[in-house]
Chain A
């Protein structure tokens, strides 16, 4: 009985294989390495986005995916095929990054990734996209190491932590006159990397880094490490990490003996959530952002964002405009390589990877995107913001 079943299955498989699409119908471009994404009539072209959609950092994921949805609607069809944004929750960490990327690459209509949002998740997902030939354009993964790994697929439109950290150290030393700087970080790829850059630049400028402490993310009490930092009597405290931990630190600075000292954070602390958690303690806190100067295109986008979601653009995170541009740049690259043949849209994966890396003078709302050979697509530096009367405003 078993043998009969086995033979029947073999026959069925052979029949199925014979009925499958014949290779002859494919365009020549698909014979290259990595092949083509084949999207039949009625299916959609999928672009992925992955970031923390739940938990302490969910504001980033929600804000970025909201901006991206607007971009997908504005960019229109690819040769008559609709584009769909596949939003996934990776929690920001490496485990989530690997899980989401493995899930997405299994989908044959998935062609490009506008993420991941966090550096930790991005580092874990990169090799998986590399193998599958999925080009990435992250609006926010800023860890410097990401583009030094020789990846063909990874690109980003955010400035790197190196650029940001150097800017922050210069600002602290030159504009704020800080000479003794204490540094803390959350031990993440992003936070520790950023704190390291600030520390090195600050020392090279002639300042003194008096403390370098790590805290465990997700806790509600950092008074002990803060007391240790306070004992070094710094002029200012720099924190590499995200808003949840920064809020705890800011709230406990006074009782740990750091009353009235400057608190300076990276782009990860910017946003409304931070203000809600620190209240009056947040006055005078600095943060780096990649908020672009206000142009006509940005005003138009801000209005559209407000109409669609009810909140002002840039309130949840500083990556709103970059996220919009990441999708725009990816779709323009897809349009440049897509081929229609018969009832199927073919997107040659190898050519798409090259097209994204080769982006030149793409006019987005946050500025002009031109990718360098290593995948860095942003040349501009950070803009520093300060909390005044419970609002983030540009620092002088």
Chain B
């Protein structure tokens, strides 16, 4: 009897996926059809605005997501404190801007000029340098202090340690910098809300300088990373450690060193994302890395965790999905996180290895 029941379950169980998939698919098609064809609430310029804000957000998600993926590829752990690494980088950029604003650089024509506006390009480079340095240092010590002693421990323990480190860094910076959101004042040439204006279907669409700046910079960083991983000796060592730690060790690769450097590289990317966040979003507090961190993790899983192009693709996809999704489905904008995390669940059910994910070896699973 029991056997028969379980075989029935199995039979119906197999049907669950296609049926649920079809229902969800039909619902999506119906909503999209209603919004895009019948209601037509938004004109082309609005869609362009949604797309732009999604692209910019996606670029930042992608940079953070690469950090998750790099570390996962090498240590098979999810570094949940990665969002906090980004947050500390954002604070580095914030304090640099604040400091430079207090350095006078008066000229005869303009006695109120400060360093930030007198040398905006140097200031921005300095802010990135400080932000990246802070994040890379935090990443390096995080691995050294919190993760290295647990190298041989079961992976669940590492995961919980990472969550603990995340809370620790969050509360530490709340204590150090206060809980209020701080306002970041950009140099005048990168003023938020200024930019080029396009006219689409009769309405002006603003392409902000800060947005273009963030997007271009994240693209450059991603290309740089790809070259680093694919074309350099360190990249080869990283790939070797990712494939098989023990064999790489036997072949003379310094595994500890490679892991340290991986944390530094992911810290560099997170720091850059943090300063971009400063420049584009303009507000920073201790909590600013948490949600982007979780979103970037989602993006990394979506693209196939451990896969670098997957993380880039996943980040971009998630950013665009978040800003286009609610409008395209005609639902409330407050529900954008629901869309993002529903996609995560769907990916985990339908394709656990992600969009670009390779077949994972036993060890990585």
Contacts and interface: CB of A to CB of B under 8 A. Distances in A.
B283 interface: yes
B206 A257 contact: yes
Contacts of A254: 193, 206
B199 to A, nearest CB: 12
Interface in B285-337: 285, 287-288, 291, 322-323, 326-327, 332-334, 336-337
Contacts of A21: none
A228 B181 contact: no
Q: Which of B193, B291, B323, B326 has the most CB of A within 10 A?
A: B193
Contact of B283 (A216, A248, A253): A248
Given A214-B334, A215-B333, A216-B334, A224 B50 contact: yes
Contacts of B50: 224, 227-228
Contact of A224 (B54, B181, B195, B285): B54
Contacts of B46: 227-228, 230-231, 257
B333 A255 contact: no
B34 interface: no
B217 interface: no
Interface of A: 54-56, 58, 187, 213-216, 218-221, 223-225, 227-228, 230-231, 244, 247-248, 251-257, 259, 273, 276-277, 279, 281
A223 B53 contact: yes
A255 B337 contact: no
14 contacts: A55-B180, A56-B181, A187-B334, A215-B334, A224-B50, A224-B327, A225-B326, A227-B46, A227-B50, A227-B53, A231-B42, A231-B45, A257-B46, A281-B193
Interface of B: 41-43, 45-46, 49-50, 53-54, 57, 179-181, 183, 185, 192-193, 195, 203-206, 208, 211, 277, 281-283, 285, 287-288, 291, 322-323, 326-327, 332-334, 336-337
A242 to B, nearest CB: 12
A241 to B, nearest CB: 12
B214 to A, nearest CB: 12
Nearest to B332: A214
Contacts of B334: 187, 214-216
A231 B179 contact: no
Contacts, number: 100
A227 B323 CA distance: 10
Contacts of B283: 220, 247-248, 277
A392 to B, nearest CB: 17
Contact of B326 (A224, A255, A281): A224
Given A255-B192, A255-B206, A257-B206, A223 B323 contact: yes
Contacts of A55: 179-180
A220 B282 contact: yes
Contact of A257 (B204, B277, B337): B204
B333 A214 contact: yes
B208 A228 contact: no
A257 B183 contact: no
Nearest to B208: A255
B333 to A, nearest CB: 4
Given A223-B53, A257-B203, 11 more contacts: A56-B179, A58-B179, A216-B334, A220-B181, A224-B54, A225-B326, A228-B327, A248-B283, A253-B193, A255-B208, A277-B283
Contacts of A252: 192-193
Contacts of A56: 179-181, 285
Contacts of A58: 179-180
Contacts of B203: 257
Q: Which of A227, A231, A247, A276 has the most CB of B within 10 A?
A: A227
A258 B181 CA distance: 24
A244 B287 CA distance: 14
Q: Which of A218, A220, A279 has the most CB of B within 10 A?
A: A220
Q: Which of A219, A253, A273, A281 has the most CB of B within 10 A?
A: A219
Contacts of B204: 257
Contacts of A228: 41-42, 46, 50, 327, 333
A170 B205 CA distance: 32
A338 B57 CA distance: 61
Contact of B332 (A213, A247, A253, A276): A213
Nearest to A52: B179
Given A220-B288, A255-B195, A257-B203, A225 B333 contact: yes
Given A224-B326, A225-B333, A228-B327, A244 B181 contact: yes
